[in-house]
Structure 1
Amino acid sequence: MQIDSLPPLREVIATHGLRARKELGQNFLLDLNLTARIARVAGPLEGVTVIEVGPGPGGLTRALLAEGAQRVIAIERDERTLPALAEIAAAYPGRLEVIAGDALETDFAALADGPTRIVSNLPYNIGTELLTRWLTVETWPPFFESLTLMFQREVAERIIAKPSEDAYGRLGVLCGWRTEVRIAFNVGREAFTPPPKVTSSVVHLRPKAVEDGVAVRDLEAVTRAAFGQRRKMVRQSLKSLGVPMEALLAAAGLRGNERAETLPVETFLKLAKARR
């Protein structure tokens, strides 16, 4: 698929010697039809600032620009890719800003400019940490309108998991609390260079209104305690919170013999409020 006048991604990679590095969690997507599909999951992009983490040779970057993003801010720590990204910037004058740096040290809220969305084929080694950071900002609704992110399928299942499902845990509670979330589609390992060992999934998360009175730090403490000993009854697993147990259980409407993996998000919110 030809989406612009730039060379095919395989040619770009060969020209600039961009062998994917395992230590950077890199797996490059070379199919521009696929990157365009990812960009479209984020919705119409006209008038929108898009933040992308780990653009690599720029396949998704090009798709975001071709789909009409007003501005793309790409954060990349691999300096080898900067010449390739500079070529994209030249092809889309004034619409691509490349920040050479570490996403884990980036103030994303400061980059937001008007309607802002985050769209990324995230490096696998930092994907979950970045998602958690974006979903635990103190100010809610947050600085972004939505998140469209690529994860390993196993992580995606944890993100969308519901009570009593094997993948249900702290990440599922957090995402269920603050977002409407869905898996948009799966991506086979053969779509990447080099191919990862597992299937990947594109996940779309949209912030939703949340109940006042629940602090992120309290919910994190409750879920850490509950799922840290997920096979134990909550009467035992929640002892580490240091809160009178009977009052805590009563506030959440629990008997104490339940296990964390069976509790709905609403119950964790009640526990978090009662911990204060």
Structure 2
Amino acid sequence: MTDLPPLRDVINRHGLFATKALGQNFLFDEQLLDRIARVPGKLKGENVLEVGPGPGGLTRALLRAGANVTAIEMDKRCMPALAELSDAFPGQLTVIQGDATRIDPATLFEGPWHVAANLPYNVGTQLFTGWLSGQDWPPQWKSLTLMFQLEVAERIVAAPGTDAYGRLAVLAQWRASPRIAMKVHRSAFTPPPKVMSAIVHVEPGTMPEGVSARMLERVTEAAFGQRRKMLRQSLKGLPGALDALEALGIDAQRRAETLSVEEFVSIARVLTK
């Protein structure tokens, strides 16, 4: 590997700047980027999917860690800078110009992969819930290491009974283990976003038996769609849901945010049968 020029020099040379329309915020602190790349554990020889690499800050760190990176970038302006990284790390980096929401990662890798990304803010939650969905489990990804706005990160790891607890927490926790690996101050980005950020690390867990993932999604969608209402009101439009509450001994006067992840799973299991 040849020595790489500072990231700021790269973006200046290529005339790059972050655009709000693409949800871009660039990170230049290479020590911070190396810390993020260490969150998934040892990556030497591992396949890693990166979404929205921009000028390649995190990409550099992943490549330095020995990962084989496939990066999906929508912004054509970043292609020359990423091409330079491909030359600096022969055989380790594949760059795809396109929309990550329309690309199935399973078509990109022959074996399992990790995901590591400073996700564009405007598509981060959509991509995250997509990776968590589906009946097949464990998933083909081995871990997710993702940058979110701190508020979103707190929603992912939230406990029942808290203001942040909602559908995202249930979908993230019912068969996986998410944690906030580190917080990232807004001043670390260029341009600085208005809010703090955080790295969320997720590892797949055990799939509860007898539960349809789609049914759990329907239950949480109904329950949290009207979260200020009692369950007897929010779930009445879901066939069999109120009977399931009664069978499980769950008080229909409770609100969605008071139910544990396990209780939501139990409701979905009854409705799956």
The 2-side partners of 1:230 and 1:84 are apart by: 46
Q: Tell me the matched-pair count.
A: 272
Residue 204 of structure 2 aligns with which residue? 207
Q: Deviations over 1:123-148 (max 9, x none)?
A: 00000000000000321000111000
Does the residue aligned with 1:268 lie in a helix, a strand or coil?
A: helix
* Equivalence for 2:183: 186
Identify if the C-alpha distance between structure 1 residues 4 and 31 changes in structure 2 by more than 3 Å, giving closer, same or farther. Answer: farther
Secondary structure of the 2:18 match is: coil
User: Following the alignment from structure 1 to structure 2, what is the Cα–Cα distance between the partners of residues 4 and 179?
Assistant: 39
Identical counterparts, % of pairs = 59
Contact 1:251 1:271 in 2 (8 A): no
Q: Cα 1:236–1:68, aligned 2, differ >3 Å: closer, same or farther?
A: same
Partners of 1:101 and 1:138 in 2: CA distance: 27
* Correspondent of 1:270 among 255, 266, 272: 266
Q: 1:182 to 1:275 in 2, by over 3 A?
A: same
Equivalent-residue separation in structure 2 for 1:36 and 1:169 (angstroms): 32
- Correspondence for 2:11: 13
Give 1:4 shift.
Answer: 5.9
For 2:189 and 2:110, locate their aligned partners in 1 and report how far apart those are by CA, in whole Å. Answer: 31
Is residue 150 of structure 1 aligned with residue 147 of structure 2?
Answer: yes
Aligned partners of 2:241 and 2:271 also within 8 Å: no
Name structure 2 gaps, 5 residues minimum.
Answer: none
Equivalent of 1:249, from 227, 245, 251?
A: 245
Q: Per-residue CA shift, 1:25-47, capped at 9, x if unaligned? A: 00000111111110000110012
Give the aligned partner of residue 77 of structure 1.
74
Distance in 2 (CA, whole Å) between partners of 1:178 and 1:58 is 32
Query: Structure 1 residues 137, 244: CA separation in 2 closer, same or farther (over 3 Å shift)?
Result: closer
Contact 1:45 1:67 in 2 (8 A): yes
TM-score, structure 1 as length reference: 0.96
3-state SS, counterpart of residue 145 of structure 1: strand
2-structure distance, mates of 1:90, 1:47: 18
Match of 1:34 among 32, 35, 47: 32
In 2, the alpha carbon distance for the partners of 1:178 and 1:243 equals 24
Note the C-alpha offset of 1:271: 1.1
- The answer to whether the 8 Å contact 2:135/2:214 transfers is no
8 Å CA contact 1:20–1:193 kept in 2: the answer is yes
1:261 counterpart residue number: 257
The aligned amino acid for 2:114 is R
Task: Map 1:125-140 onto structure 2 (within 5 A).
Answer: 125-140=122-137
d(CA) in 2 for partners of 1:88, 1:52: 14
Q: Deviations over 1:83-134 (max 9, x none)?
A: 0000000000011000110001010122233341000000000000000000
Question: What CA distance in whole angstroms lies between the structure 2 residues aligned with 1:94 and 1:77?
Answer: 22
Q: State the distance in 2 between where 1:64 and 1:138 align.
A: 30
Residues 253-262 or 151-160, more deviating? 253-262
User: Which position in structure 2 is the counterpart of 1:52?
Assistant: 50
Offset at 1:256?
Answer: 1.1
Give the structure 2 partner of residue 102 of structure 1: 99
The structural deviation recorded for 1:244 is: 6.2
1-structure distance, mates of 2:134, 2:93 = 26
